[in-house]
A = this chain, B = another copy of it.
């Protein structure tokens, strides 16, 4: 009985959850590919390969769907961030602390080229004129921001994170990277060769000097 239920119970709640996730993943994919205005319910429905009824059963309107997508994406971005930390921390520690700082800056900068970042930007931009999306994003991005800041401290390591100007550096890096990446919307180029990279590394040396 119990064993039967353990396999069958999944069908109802879990199956529904799967559909939801599939649609939301599709929504994010559409945001990345076609932007906010290109992410119509039909396009998302097609990308998710679900029927219209299925999509509208889970999300009664386009707004509700994209609002949920915003939430969904924020959660995913927190997970991505954690994963990124692991990659840095597990790496064999560089001899010099500033070499480590360089590495962290490069890794952090990479995260601003990832598709998920652009999906977020689409939703941020949409939020400016859509208060429903803004209302969902506000608390969610606050959580994400806190997670990112905590991650940065771990990535840089205690020694650097305890320097007096660490928080200043952290905030300057995050905002400057976001602002820099915005130019990539119309000017695609290799992020790894961005001139700002050296500036950021230099800034870290300056602000974290003993």
Binding site for B on A (CB under 8 A): 33-38, 118, 121-122, 124-130, 133-134, 137-138, 141, 168, 171-172, 174-180, 182-183, 185-187, 195-196, 199, 202-203, 206-207
Chain B residues near A202 (CB-CB < 8 A): 168
The answer to whether A129 touches B179, judged by C-beta atoms less than 8 angstroms apart, is no
Chain B residues near A33 (CB-CB < 8 A): 129
The answer to whether A186 touches B134, judged by C-beta atoms less than 8 angstroms apart, is yes
Contact for A124 among B134, B177, B182, CB less than 8 A: B182
The answer to whether A141 touches B175, judged by C-beta atoms less than 8 angstroms apart, is no
Instruction: Say whether, besides A34-B129, A179-B178, A124 and B199 are in contact (CB < 8 Å).
Output: no
Q: Can you show 28 pairs from A to B with CB atoms below 8 A apart?
A: A33-B129, A35-B125, A35-B126, A35-B129, A36-B37, A36-B125, A121-B182, A124-B183, A124-B186, A125-B185, A127-B186, A134-B187, A138-B186, A141-B186, A141-B187, A168-B199, A171-B195, A172-B172, A172-B199, A172-B203, A174-B179, A175-B176, A175-B177, A175-B196, A178-B179, A179-B179, A179-B182, A206-B206
The answer to whether A121 touches B125, judged by C-beta atoms less than 8 angstroms apart, is yes
Query: How far is B186's CA from A137's CA once the two chains are assembled, in angstroms?
Result: 7
* Nearest-Cβ distance from residue A105 to partner chain B, whole angstroms: 13
Query: How far is B171's CA from A172's CA once the two chains are assembled, in angstroms?
Result: 12
Chain B residues near A138 (CB-CB < 8 A): 186-187
* Nearest-Cβ distance from residue A180 to partner chain B, whole angstroms: 5
Query: How far is B33's CA from A98's CA once the two chains are assembled, in angstroms?
Result: 46
